[in-house]
């Protein structure tokens, strides 16, 4: 039996709409309930709300931080990975997550989607970059997370 | 007087159409003629033809290589920068180029466009990702390169 | 109360002596017992034995992997961070760990020690690079781990 | 006939002694006279003097910059490669240079020496880390550069 945890990525902007923050929080909870670990960029906005949802539901959160200080991560990152790589840390998120949910987001999020698709990772999006070819558009957090686990071969329970 | 060279990026897929290869070759020549240095990912397809055009017109080419061997670069890279960073090297291209021309391209190219736009770099595209918000669509190599130098404040001579 | 976990790094070669492997296993256990998370390069040798010790004592292990596949990590990595950055992932280990224990090791380990010292992290070494200025030489796993937690201001319990 | 340029690395601290700066300047000149391109971290101290020597002797200099702005490089960098990777850019220098000369230097320099030796690059040192196993100690800039070109199979002319 493997000790390996399943990693699911949540990506989106550090400045996010109220809608995006609610979606992100709910996605974080759903990831925790399925016993996966949430991976994100560890900063504010979508990342912070997703981490908060995950932690409050009893899960764990890895923040792949762009700066050189663990304290720069949001307070809901339990496992800060300090890269000091700036935007290049986006590529690590795409590699580390087995699948990704994008919540709105701007160009940084688009770069993560692009690398994730390049790597063949399942990617779904709520708002934002949902029209990029290869991205599965989603309408609700539950739909987004269900699709991802279905693609990874782990059914809803 | 500065010794600094102006760096212009050319991005696109390693497997490219005949059309894309012709465009890339012409773009490489135009960059050399304006005394700029061409920066690219250093591999095949669009990157190789752009480098060939630039070298044949008397210019210089920096290839930011994803692998760990200088020999993996195409034969028209005069200055191979060996990163062994995989796709993360795309971020270096976006940072290093003052402006970028995309020629067709797939998800790797999209990731470079996204980071370049995030950094505020002028980006123009021939084919491919020309509909991404913030990208200036171009129709000819000459139009693409003229637009870039105009944005950088260096007029056609 | 913070959700943040304390990260302790264990570094050393993928090919290790029997002595080094025993030391690493014991260090992994000590880290788990103090409720810290073990961070390492995630591969074989010292890294694998440290992870095994940590997991068998009920802890968690982050492997900052050099390649592009989570499966390349050793079986005792519970949280694989997939970087595809090659040796550059060493720098992430130095940034992420609040303090590091080196167990023997070769040039890769030396690069991690150098960056960690540059960042002001406490570094202790069993064998290997113990004579590098700034490194605290250790004689036993228990002494190494005690010194580290003392430097971080968390006393032995 | 290849368009590829030979890349030689010069590494050392941003704050350097007068002795180190003189050595670095002379090394830069010797690299230019042999028609190689100087690769360095692009910042001050040893890096700046090496670049100045190289440019004043008619050569070219690539600065692999740790920050996100080309302007952060010293004024003698003709080809700034902007990485925004912090200390991880040291690994790129070791990969890109076919051989390296270290001039004094501190922990950052040690990390570059370590990775270069790991990659099998010839490394020589004036002062500083000359006692690291695998490093060839040198006494003069001329001796250091001669040894490097001898190891690369290009004889003094």
Output the average pLDDT for chain A.
96
Distance from C-alpha of D63 to C-alpha of D81, rounded to nearest angstrom: 6
Please report whether residue D112 resides in a domain. Answer: yes
* Percentage of chain C lying above the pLDDT 70 cut: 97
State yes or no: pLDDT of D155 exceeds 70: no
User: What is the mean pLDDT of the segment spanning A135-141?
Assistant: 98
The verdict on A70 touching B (C-beta cutoff 8 Å) is no
State yes or no: pLDDT of A139 exceeds 90: yes
Please report whether residue D1 resides in a domain. Answer: no
For residue D27, what pLDDT is reported?
A: 98
User: What is the mean pLDDT of the segment spanning A79-92?
Assistant: 98
Please report whether residue A156 resides in a domain. Answer: no
Write a three-state SS string for D47-100: HHHHHHHHHHCCCCEEEEECCCCHHHCCCCCCEEEECCCHHHHHHHHHHHCCEE
pLDDT in tens, D44-58: 999 999 999 999 999
For residue B54, what pLDDT is reported?
A: 98
Confirm if B114 and A107 have CB atoms less than 8 A apart: yes
pLDDT in tens, D55-82: 999 999 999 999 999 999 999 999 999 9
Please report whether residue C157 resides in a domain. Answer: no
For residue C157, what pLDDT is reported?
A: 43
For residue B12, what pLDDT is reported?
A: 98
Please report whether residue D4 resides in a domain. Answer: no
At A1, the pLDDT band (50, 70, 90 cuts) reads low
Please name the residues in contact with A18: beta carbons below 8 A apart, sequence gap of 6 or more.
Answer: none
The verdict on B115 touching A (C-beta cutoff 8 Å) is yes
State yes or no: pLDDT of A27 exceeds 70: yes
Chain A nearest C-alpha distance from C5 (Å): 6
Radius of gyration (C-alpha) of chain D in whole angstroms: 14
Element (DSSP H or E) covering residue A64: strand A61-65
The verdict on A88 touching D (C-beta cutoff 8 Å) is yes
User: What is the mean pLDDT of the segment spanning B38-56?
Assistant: 98
User: What is the mean pLDDT of the segment spanning C26-52?
Assistant: 98
State yes or no: pLDDT of D104 exceeds 80: yes
At D1, the pLDDT band (50, 70, 90 cuts) reads low
Q: Is D85 in Cβ contact with A85 (below 8 Å)?
A: yes
Task: Name chain D contacts of B76, Cβ cutoff 8 Å.
Answer: 3
Nearest to D115 among C85, C87, C117 (CB): C87
pLDDT in tens, C65-78: 999 999 999 999 99
The verdict on C117 touching A (C-beta cutoff 8 Å) is no
Please report whether residue C110 resides in a domain. Answer: yes
Confirm if D17 and D126 have CB atoms less than 8 A apart: no
User: How far is Cα of residue D67 from the mean position of the Cα atoms in its chain?
Assistant: 18
For residue A147, what pLDDT is reported?
A: 98
User: What is the mean pLDDT of the segment spanning D21-32?
Assistant: 98
User: What is the mean pLDDT of the segment spanning D87-101?
Assistant: 98
Strands, sheet with D37-40, edge to edge from the N-terminal-most edge strand: D79-82, D61-65, D37-40, D7-12, D99-103, D123-126, D136-138
Q: What is the ipTM metric for this complex? A: 0.96
For residue B67, what pLDDT is reported?
A: 98
For residue C104, what pLDDT is reported?
A: 97
User: What is the mean pLDDT of the segment spanning A19-35?
Assistant: 98
Q: Chains meeting A at 3+ CB pairs closer than 8 A?
A: B, C, D
Q: Is D84 in Cβ contact with A87 (below 8 Å)?
A: yes
Please name the residues in contact with B143: beta carbons below 8 A apart, sequence gap of 6 or more.
Answer: none
Structure tokens at D87: 């200390």
Supply the DSSP symbol for C36.
P
For B101-155, give the DSSP string. EEES--HHHHHHHHHHHHTT--EEEESSSTTSTT-EEESSHHHHHHHHHHHTT--
At B157, the pLDDT band (50, 70, 90 cuts) reads very low
The verdict on A68 touching D (C-beta cutoff 8 Å) is yes
For residue D4, what pLDDT is reported?
A: 96
Nearest to A9 by CA among A140, A101, A112, A141: A101
- Which domain covers residue C33, as residue numbers? 7-151
CB atoms near residue A150 (< 10 Å): 12
Q: Chains meeting C at 3+ CB pairs closer than 8 A?
A: A, B, D
Task: Name chain D contacts of B50, Cβ cutoff 8 Å.
Answer: none
pLDDT in tens, C104-138: 999 999 999 999 999 999 999 999 999 999 999 99
Please report whether residue B130 resides in a domain. Answer: yes
Distance from C-alpha of C80 to C-alpha of A95, rounded to nearest angstrom: 10
User: What is the mean pLDDT of the segment spanning C46-66?
Assistant: 98
The verdict on D83 touching C (C-beta cutoff 8 Å) is no
Output the average pLDDT for chain C.
96
Give helix A18-33 / helix A46-56 axis angle, nearest 10°: 40
Please report whether residue B1 resides in a domain. Answer: no
Q: What is the CATH number of the domain that holds C121?
A: 3.40.50.450
- How many domains does chain A fold into? 1
**∠ Cα A100 A102 A107 (to 5°):** 120
The strand pairing partners of B101, in sequence order, are B10, B124
């Amino acid at each position: 039996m493997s000790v390996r945890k399943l990693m699911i990525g949540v990506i989106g902007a550090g400045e996010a709409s109220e809608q995006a923050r609610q979606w992100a929080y709910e996605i974080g909870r759903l990831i925790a309930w399925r016993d996966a670990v949430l991976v994100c960029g560890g900063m504010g906005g979508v990342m912070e709300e997703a981490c908060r949802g995950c932690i409050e539901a009893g899960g764990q959160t890895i923040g792949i931080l762009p700066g050189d200080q663990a304290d720069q991560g949001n307070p809901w990152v339990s496992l800060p990975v300090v890269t000091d790589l700036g935007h290049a840390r986006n590529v690590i998120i795409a590699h580390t997550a087995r699948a990704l949910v994008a919540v709105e987001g701007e160009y940084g999020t688009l770069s993560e989607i692009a690398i994730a698709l390049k790597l063949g990772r399942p990617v779904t999006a709520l708002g934002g970059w949902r029209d990029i070819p290869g991205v599965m558009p989603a309408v609700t957090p539950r739909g987004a997370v269900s699709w991802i686990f279905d693609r990874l071969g782990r059914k809803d329970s």
